[in-house]
Chain A
Amino acid sequence: MSLIVWLRSPVFSVCLTVAAYAVALGLHRRWRWIPPIVAACLPIIALLLLVREPYAEYNRGGDLLTWWLGPATVALAVPIYRNGQRLRRSLPRLLGIVFAGAVVGMTTAGLTAWLLGAPTSVVMSVVPKSVTTPIAIEVCRELGGIPQITIAMVILAGVLGATFGPMVLRLAGVRDDRAIGVAVGSSSHGIGTASLVRRSEMQAAVSSWAMATSGVVTSLLAALLALFLR
């Protein structure tokens, strides 16, 4: 019985999560196609189901980690600042492109789900799906969505961009490194950006600037939307 008590302590949740994440990183290093988030979550879910532990119990410790998404959002100022300095000359145009991307992303995601009959909470969960997870979660909460659905959509958008983004852009005749960077960063945030690092430094720099900036723009647009909905 004492084992169960120990399993229920928040510290155990944190240790379990960190351990699963470390193993997932190792797997990802060996087999690049395994997304770390999937490899980290599946064993935890399996264990919780196996010992019949409710999610809420695990998440008392999980919340300690989730809190750090806030500081991680703040830290996104660093890629905006650092890469913004080098992109000075194209910055106004890049900002316009990111703004267009944010508007298109929010409206197409929300409208498609709404037209296919999804309830409001689901529609609001997909609206921030193009932006980096910590900002997407904040936006989802502001709009009254379901954070878990947002996370799943955000991760899938990232995987789509990392896998097919550069190929689709090549088919569309987009060859400029900055154009590829801004497109992948706007549509597939950090996961897409990480996939560009090995391709070109310029693409990765523009992409990480675009990912962070598009998160800010989306949250500002969502704040307007929330005022309008109220």
Chain B
Amino acid sequence: MNTVRGIAIVAGLFLLGTLLHRAGVPIPGGVLGLLLFYGALTAGLVKLQWVESAANLLLRHMVLLFVPLTVGLMEMGHVLSRQAFALTASLVVSFLAVLLTTGLLGRWLLPFAEEAEAEPCAEHDRAEAGR
């Protein structure tokens, strides 16, 4: 029941985001829905336990949702083979650039002193999972 309610909330916010996007907001509908959803969670309008199981379901099986688009690669052979080198180079260069920029910034900006906050949270999560 909770999952059904959660799905309805999430799908409703997506439709609302899409409407706003069509009305001229230059941010994609899904991301607008995400921002509205985050705002609603932060403001306490939507409780995490109403939506958690639905969100977990959608996120866990996200791969299923992009299978149909990926199957479309079967008609893209010519583009892919012509651009294979540019695509591979772009993939590897950009992957390493992002990984190292964020990793090294993290090493610099996130000092060890704050690591203490990891422990109580792990406990909290286990308690939550047991509920």
Contacts and interface: CB of A to CB of B under 8 A. Distances in A.
B31 A73 contact: yes
Contacts of B51: 75, 78
B10 to A, nearest CB: 5
Contacts of B2: none
Nearest to B122: A201
Interface in A102-153: 104-105, 108-110, 112-113, 116-119, 122, 126, 129-130, 132-135, 137-139, 141-142, 146-149, 151-153
B71 A48 contact: yes
Contacts of B90: 108-110, 112-113, 116, 118, 126, 129, 153
A184 interface: yes
Nearest to A223: B26
Interface in B69-107: 69-76, 79-80, 83, 85-87, 89-107
A93 B62 CA distance: 29
* Interface residue tally on B, bucketed by range: 35 or more
Q: With a 10 A CB-CB cut-off, give which of A73, A105, A156, A205 has the most chain B CB atoms.
A: A73
Contact of B37 (A55, A61, A74, A100): A74
Classify the secondary structure of B's interface with A.
Answer: helix
A90 interface: yes
B58 to A, nearest CB: 4
A89 B65 contact: no
A196 interface: no
B67 A183 contact: no
A72 B28 CA distance: 13
A13 B105 CA distance: 45
Given A105-B97, A157-B95, A187-B99, A71 B66 contact: no
Contacts of B7: 71
Interface of B: 7, 10-11, 13-14, 17-18, 26-31, 33-38, 41-42, 48, 51-52, 54-56, 58-59, 61-76, 79-80, 83, 85-87, 89-107, 109-110, 112, 114-115, 117-118, 121-122, 124-125
23 contacts: A21-B61, A62-B68, A66-B65, A68-B58, A69-B66, A70-B11, A71-B33, A73-B14, A74-B14, A74-B30, A77-B35, A77-B37, A78-B37, A81-B42, A105-B97, A138-B28, A151-B69, A151-B73, A153-B90, A175-B107, A186-B99, A215-B31, A227-B26
